[in-house]
Structure 1
Amino acid sequence: AFGRALARTHDAGAAAFGAPPSGWDGPLYIGRLVQPASAERSWGAFYARDRVEVFLRPAVDAGNLAADDVPLVERACAVIADGVFDDDDPPSRLHGDLWNGNVLFSRDGVVLIDPAAHGGHRETDLAMLELFGCPHLEEVIEGYRLTHPLREGWVQRIPVHQLHPLAVHAVGHGPAYGAALVDAARRTLALSGRS
């Protein structure tokens, strides 16, 4: 049921990649960090600039990402911004911070809390669920697929979509996230064929 409901939320759409929810004109946050709002037609341009690169300098300043590793992550972002992973999917309405701590299982069903809602790519929410170990993930994905089939290769693209949460966590949650960010950037470059 949660997977089906999440697919319907994504299918509700958004005005553009990076767009806040309709009627919202305040700042966008993920946790305590401000995220840019934008109105991009290209998912890759939006994602690289406003969801990954924006967090690199703060992660270095926090001591959780080595300055020597930034060019590798920036190369992965350049590939993403070039549109290598863009598709014809319209912007989805994302939860935007869909780690397992924001997924509450109750007797009445799943309740999602603490969103960082914006227009994005549906695979990003799914990749975040995978990154942080959502309970019953296989069943969630199956419910999702019953409502909205996923594009072929979505599992292989998970590292691309995990760059954002890893960059965010590299800002405030320790150097292990900086190392994981670098690994995901390497995997993204390998997937693109431009390593």
Structure 2
Amino acid sequence: MSMEGLDRLLGAEVVSASALHGGDLSEVVKVALDDGRVMAVKRGPKVATEARMLQAMARAGAPVPQVLMQAGDMLCLEWLPEAPPTPETWEALGASLRALHATTGDGYGWAEDYAFGRLPIRNATTESWPEFWARQRLLPFLPSLPMALVRRLEALARALPDYLPEAPPASLLHGDLWTGNTHFGEGHAWMIDPACYCGHAEVDLAMLELFGQPHPAFWTGYGPTEPGREERRPFYQLFPALVHLSLFGAGYQSMVARLISSARV
């Protein structure tokens, strides 16, 4: 990232810049300026979309980093302090996610498409939730799958109306809520790196459970979930598993196969 370019945009001299861990899909740098400001600076082709998503989450009352500036392929965000998570901050995260999900849209999807690195994410809206999940979240991966998985995924997509609700509330979703996209500070919990769209609230919960389990206090904060959520969970976890298979290789093929089997279609 060009420090000279940052100087011009921010109107102050960069005194230090250090790359942050977790920048698999975009470049992220901690920047300190000579006027005392510290911020996280991201660069990538979709940062303008990310800025709009963060602003939509903030309007819904969700704890997210403040967007300080967005220009071209650069996004400057509030620097968040860090502290180990506690039961209290896990509970706060659950309550914040419940509040986010209480904000709803008119249909399933988002006003613009997104991407995880080189992988496009389609967000064209539909009125049917099973149709959205099939067309925009599962079937786009068919060309990259081995034939045995293609047949099974096609069958699962056809069966979605029998397993997913037709018209759940179109909750505002974080869209990529694994533990790496949560951030804890002293008495605070934030959600970072969104991939927002409107859909069934269980999508965020299923993603949060894919690579581990949130602290039990999270569920205290979030509150009751819908009956049958455990049966629907593998349908929703399939999308991030397919994303990982596409981006990071065949090591995730067994996860995809296991989730298709768990769906029991």
TM-score (normalizing by structure 2): 0.61
Moved more, 30-39 or 66-75: 30-39
Q: What's the counterpart of residue 10 of structure 1?
A: 101
Q: Secondary structure at the match of 1:114?
A: coil
Q: Which structure shows the higher strand fraction? A: 2
Is 1:50 the counterpart of 2:129? The answer is no
Q: Which structure shows the higher helix fraction? A: 1
The Cα shift of 1:16 comes to: 1.0
- 5+ residue gaps in structure 1? 61-65
Q: Secondary structure at the match of 1:79?
A: helix
The Cα shift of 1:90 comes to: 1.4
Q: Secondary structure at the match of 1:16?
A: coil
**Count of aligned pairs:** 174
Q: Secondary structure at the match of 2:190?
A: strand
- 5+ residue gaps in structure 2? 1-91
Q: What's the counterpart of residue 124 of structure 2?
A: 38
Is 1:79 the counterpart of 2:159? The answer is yes
CA distance in 1, matches of 2:185, 2:170: 29
CA distance in 2, matches of 1:46, 1:88: 11
CA distance in 2, matches of 1:18, 1:6: 18
Please tell me whether the aligned partners of residues 130 and 166 of structure 2 are also in contact (alpha carbons under 8 angstroms). Answer: no
Q: Secondary structure at the match of 2:134?
A: helix
Which aligned pairs between 1:1-195 and structure 2 lie closer than 5 A?
1-20=92-111, 25=112, 27-58=113-144, 60=145, 66-80=146-160, 82-136=161-215, 138-145=216-223, 149-188=224-263, 190=264, 195=265
CA distance in 2, matches of 1:88, 1:43: 6
Q: Secondary structure at the match of 2:163?
A: coil
Please tell me whether the aligned partners of residues 129 and 167 of structure 2 are also in contact (alpha carbons under 8 angstroms). Answer: no
Q: Does the C-alpha gap of structure 1 residues 124 and 31 become closer, same or farther in structure 2, counting only changes over 3 Å?
A: farther
Larger Rg: 2
CA distance in 2, matches of 1:70, 1:157: 20
Please tell me whether the aligned partners of residues 128 and 166 of structure 2 are also in contact (alpha carbons under 8 angstroms). Answer: no
Please tell me whether the aligned partners of residues 43 and 83 of structure 1 are also in contact (alpha carbons under 8 angstroms). Answer: no
- One-letter identity of the residue aligned with 1:57: P
Q: Secondary structure at the match of 1:89?
A: coil
The Cα shift of 1:87 comes to: 4.7
Q: Secondary structure at the match of 2:108?
A: coil
The Cα shift of 1:165 comes to: 0.5
The Cα shift of 1:67 comes to: 2.4
Identical aligned pairs, as a percentage? 34
CA distance in 1, matches of 2:242, 2:259: 10
Please tell me whether the aligned partners of residues 169 and 177 of structure 1 are also in contact (alpha carbons under 8 angstroms). Answer: yes
